[in-house]
Structure 1
Amino acid sequence: MTEILEQLTSEGEVPSVPKVVGHKVVEQPAWPALKDAVERIRVWQAKDGSIDFTAADAPAAADAERAVAEVVDAVRALAPLLPHDAAYHTALVEDLRRWAADGFQVPDFLDSLLAFQPAADRRDGLQHLVVFPMYTQNGNPDRNLEAVVLKMVWPDWLAELERTRYDNPLFCGITFEDFTAGYDTNSAVLFPETIAVREAPERFSWGGIFCDREAARFRRVTAAAVDILGLELPEDIAAMVHDQKRSEAAFVLWDMVHDRTHSHGDLPFDPFMIKQRQPFWMYGLEELRCDLTAFKEAVQLAREGVPQARDVQYAVLFDRMFRFPVTGERVRNYDGLGGQLLFAYLHRHEVVRWTDNRLSIDWERAPEITNQLCAEIETLYREGIDRPKLVHWFKGYELVATYLAPHPGSTWAKGPDALDLSLPPRKLVDDVLPDEFPLSMFYEALSKKLKNVIASTRGITADTAERVAA
């Protein structure tokens, strides 16, 4: 074993010392040192997270070992600021040491993943230093080493709603303090299932969503869409679009209710729909169902005087109608499909009107009709419990196709007689077109006008959004 690797095993556990009040992790000299070491390691890694020292551009093994030693030193230097993460940082050092000692094969950070328990202490403002080999959803698809400093968002009003009404003990509302390159992307989540481990745990114990990135992205795209479409906003909603903290509050409430909805309601088995191969419109309906449930709950909460609830309603409407349909590739874009469906439903029921090149919204009827769409999807799910899988898929298709025109070349649009029903349902997914429900002319035009704005939200945070606004 080299001297560098011996250094990784020479120190004991991260000491548990009193928290240094008023000291942010990102303000410590060890944080840029940690970032620099992680960034060097990232470029050496293959897609699976390993380092192939036989590759033409591979580093010397000693260089990789030295970089890991620097990460370990930085973690130990920063750990006293974070005594609540002592067990995690101890396991993290051991996982880093083992990865280096084993020759930088496919990383396995299961032990440190199991030790990281942010949902067990959701105090508002609590910092965490997180280092894992992982892919970033909607960001980097490779399992590279990443480092992120985050802060918990758990104000008293949200904690009370979770305790009394929307039990979701695994949910973590979080904001960015700083991050490495994998998060300089469109990713706004920190999920344990993205982390490289030897085997998946029986169950995950937390999930984090960056409400600051969601809010900043929402504000920039919504402001641009409102300007392009000539939409007149009520004064209080216009104020929310221009207020980062207020928007963050709306998103953390939206996310908490959305997240728990995946396992609530009259659902077929496997409500997350991850373990089975399905047509992408079924994923789209599930995500839209969760968003519209958050909308429905927000309508009720607003009646009860919860101040963040009205903001949630318009965050759902605007993000779903303006950003989702024109963001990302058109290949199996299930979130985009849900946004198209919401707009088309509201347009069909004359809640939204596109006349004289201006968009108008019937603000009084919007809650009623949006809840009506939610009820149609809930009925689809409830009746789906008694249907075979393939019939359920067709019923989902019929619901979407009632409001969105399928591609003229679609096999599924021709009905069951056009498909080889002797095949198992998962094989029939191959007959789904990559863009089964193309954009309408309205969205084709909006996409061209918004594409640069949407591209500018890559890697956005609250700080960068405010600097641009200034």
Structure 2
Amino acid sequence: MTETLVPGVGGGAITAETRVVDHPAWPVLKAAVEEIRPWQSKDGSIDFEAEGAPTRETAAATVERMAAAVEELSPLLPHATTYHRALVADLRKWVADGFGIPDFLDSLLAFQPAAERADGLQHLVVFPMYTQNGNPDRNFEAVALKMVWPEWLAELERTRYDNPLFLGITFEDFTAGYDTNSAVLFPETIAVREAPERFSWGGIFCDREAARFRKVTEAAVETLGLELPEDIRLMLADQDRCEKAFVLWDMVHDRTHSHGDLPFDPFMIKQRQPFWMYGLEELRCDLTAFKEAVKLDAEGNEHGRDVQYAVLFDRMFRFPLTGDRNRNYDGLGGQLLFAYLHKHDVIRWTDNKLKIDWEQAPRITNQLCGEIEKLYRDGIDRPKLVHWFKAYELVSTYLAPHPGSKWAKGPDALDLSQPPRKLVDDVLPDEFPLSMFFEALSKKLKGVIASTKGITAKDAADAQVAA
């Protein structure tokens, strides 16, 4: 392959294959972003009357350093030239408009990473944005990332799991908003004057998901005395293998939101619903990925079994114990999966040791998927409130509701003259509290889960070497 030479700092030259994070302009960009973030308000604007605020001249100089660094890095990424030009224009327009609420719609529309998915392709992303499960404010972030799109995954997407907007990605480096629990890059988090008619991409950092999964699962396995099959033990020791499992899981999960018998908007946009509805939707998508993984495993796909146990362990060990208990819908889904498997004797907690019936686990997990799919299919013919109660009935069959719950007492305990969205106010923040098992497990794993904040594949590798 012919190398393309582009100008470097100090008159030198670098190839177009150079990593963004190895270029001298990257730390300049990162430092400028970190400098401007503390000056920004929650909505991304700068209040120059606030304590600690810079002068307008200082802020303008910092933004110009950001723009200049992007221009210097752009030749490394010729596939993103249009985006970088729009980004620089949006940065300078923000300054010219007086540092108000940022509007980066033009650069968002110019950023089209799903149009060219290639394994190892780099991207430089700079936006004012919040980071899901990370920073709730629309501060600037800079992220250098690489795409994960091996041929085997591309073939599955092409022939079986069509998902033209999905991006499997890994971190190269990032600013403070991603030194958090956030493992996604979504366009809807970006500050814009109006939402686009449709979004054209969505990215999930499979390296962070895999590293976090490995660390928490290894701690849970040790704490619970769980004996693993040899192939699963080898998987947990292999970051690359886990990343492949997660990128396949995520691709199937992502497309499931718009596939199947759906009684509502698949992404529940602008719908106020009880949080168990969101929990069931996320669990449905994960269990669909599990079901497909069982099929792939039976067909000889080397990643099928890995996906099954990634779903099981992440859902059962990390999800129920991550985050607070305020309408924690992912935690609810994890609790439900564990309780369902326990009540069907796939899981046994005996003599302070956890045992799993590995042969029955796929069948019973698929059985839960089938129950949720039936709920959805029947829901098409039900009024919204009836559907919510039927969903509550499914969850409460396996999880004990809070004893003070109005919803647990049934329709007669609620003011049904109100519209359904008002009845959401009667849902307790922790409608389905943790079981005694998970309360005890939380004390053992809380520190491990907290330590995965901002984790990367490099952190996982360093920890393995240290061990």
When normalised by structure 2's length, the TM-score is 0.96
Match in the other structure for 1:6: none
Contact conserved, 1:407 with 1:436, CA < 8 A, in 2?
yes
Deviation at 1:209, TM superposition (A): 0.2
Structural mapping, 1:325-344, within 5 Å: 325-344=320-339
**SS where residue 176 of structure 1 aligns?**
strand
Deviation at 1:156, TM superposition (A): 0.2
Structural mapping, 1:123-272, within 5 Å: 123-272=118-267
CA deviation vs aligned residue, 1:131-161 (integer Å, no higher than 9, x gap): 0000000000000000000000000000000
CA deviation vs aligned residue, 1:224-253 (integer Å, no higher than 9, x gap): 000000000000001101100000000000
Cα distance, 1:19–1:286 mapped onto 2, change above 3 Å: farther
Cα distance, 1:47–1:362 mapped onto 2, change above 3 Å: same
- Supply the AA of the counterpart residue of 1:173: G
Match in the other structure for 1:277: 272
| Aligned mates of 1:154, 1:112 — CA distance in 2 | 24
Contact conserved, 1:136 with 1:187, CA < 8 A, in 2?
yes
Contact conserved, 2:217 with 2:317, CA < 8 A, in 1?
yes
**SS where residue 26 of structure 1 aligns?**
helix
| Aligned mates of 1:349, 1:20 — CA distance in 2 | 58
- 2:138 equivalent to 1:120: no
CA deviation vs aligned residue, 1:362-400 (integer Å, no higher than 9, x gap): 000000000000000000000000000000000000000
| Aligned mates of 2:399, 2:51 — CA distance in 1 | 50
- Supply the AA of the counterpart residue of 1:390: L
| Aligned mates of 1:75, 1:22 — CA distance in 2 | 17
| Aligned mates of 1:385, 1:261 — CA distance in 2 | 17
Alignment gaps of 5+ in structure 2:
1-12
Give the alignment partner of residue 355 of structure 1, picking from 335, 346, 350: 350
Name segments (4+ residues, structure 1) moved above 6 Å.
Answer: none
Match in the other structure for 1:66: 61
- Supply the AA of the counterpart residue of 1:295: F
- 2:111 equivalent to 1:78: no
Alignment gaps of 5+ in structure 1:
1-17
- 2:389 equivalent to 1:394: yes
Deviation at 1:19, TM superposition (A): 9.2
**SS where residue 208 of structure 1 aligns?**
strand
Deviation at 1:421, TM superposition (A): 0.2
Deviation at 1:22, TM superposition (A): 3.2
Contact conserved, 1:49 with 1:143, CA < 8 A, in 2?
yes
Match in the other structure for 2:9: none
Give the alignment partner of residue 367 of structure 2, picking from 356, 365, 372: 372
Give the alignment partner of residue 314 of structure 2, picking from 316, 319, 341: 319
Contact conserved, 2:16 with 2:75, CA < 8 A, in 1?
no
- Supply the AA of the counterpart residue of 2:88: V
Give the alignment partner of residue 93 of structure 1, picking from 77, 88, 93: 88
Give the alignment partner of residue 281 of structure 2, picking from 273, 281, 286: 286
Structural mapping, 1:43-58, within 5 Å: 43-58=38-53
- Supply the AA of the counterpart residue of 1:141: P
Query: How many residue pairs get matched?
Result: 453
- Supply the AA of the counterpart residue of 1:332: R
| Aligned mates of 2:395, 2:342 — CA distance in 1 | 14
- 2:14 equivalent to 1:31: no
Match in the other structure for 2:406: 411
| Aligned mates of 1:229, 1:297 — CA distance in 2 | 28
When normalised by structure 1's length, the TM-score is 0.96
Deviation at 1:20, TM superposition (A): 2.6
Deviation at 1:271, TM superposition (A): 1.3
CA deviation vs aligned residue, 1:63-99 (integer Å, no higher than 9, x gap): 1000001001100110000000000000000000000
Contact conserved, 1:216 with 1:465, CA < 8 A, in 2?
yes
Contact conserved, 1:50 with 1:107, CA < 8 A, in 2?
yes
Structural mapping, 1:425-440, within 5 Å: 425-440=420-435
| Aligned mates of 1:116, 1:19 — CA distance in 2 | 24
- Supply the AA of the counterpart residue of 1:398: E
| Aligned mates of 1:235, 1:276 — CA distance in 2 | 45
**SS where residue 360 of structure 1 aligns?**
strand
Give the alignment partner of residue 452 of structure 2, picking from 457, 460, 464: 457
Match in the other structure for 1:7: none
**SS where residue 209 of structure 1 aligns?**
strand
- Supply the AA of the counterpart residue of 2:276: W
| Aligned mates of 1:171, 1:271 — CA distance in 2 | 16
| Aligned mates of 2:179, 2:429 — CA distance in 1 | 27
Match in the other structure for 1:385: 380
- Supply the AA of the counterpart residue of 1:258: H
Contact conserved, 1:231 with 1:358, CA < 8 A, in 2?
yes
**SS where residue 345 of structure 2 aligns?**
coil
Give the alignment partner of residue 102 of structure 1, picking from 79, 97, 100: 97
Cα distance, 1:392–1:19 mapped onto 2, change above 3 Å: farther
**SS where residue 318 of structure 1 aligns?**
helix
Deviation at 1:120, TM superposition (A): 0.4
- Supply the AA of the counterpart residue of 1:328: G
- Supply the AA of the counterpart residue of 1:87: T
Percent same amino acid among aligned pairs? 80
Contact conserved, 1:19 with 1:80, CA < 8 A, in 2?
no
Cα distance, 1:292–1:432 mapped onto 2, change above 3 Å: same
**SS where residue 15 of structure 2 aligns?**
coil
| Aligned mates of 2:187, 2:266 — CA distance in 1 | 18
- Supply the AA of the counterpart residue of 1:311: D
Cα distance, 1:370–1:56 mapped onto 2, change above 3 Å: same
- Supply the AA of the counterpart residue of 2:358: W
Deviation at 1:441, TM superposition (A): 0.2
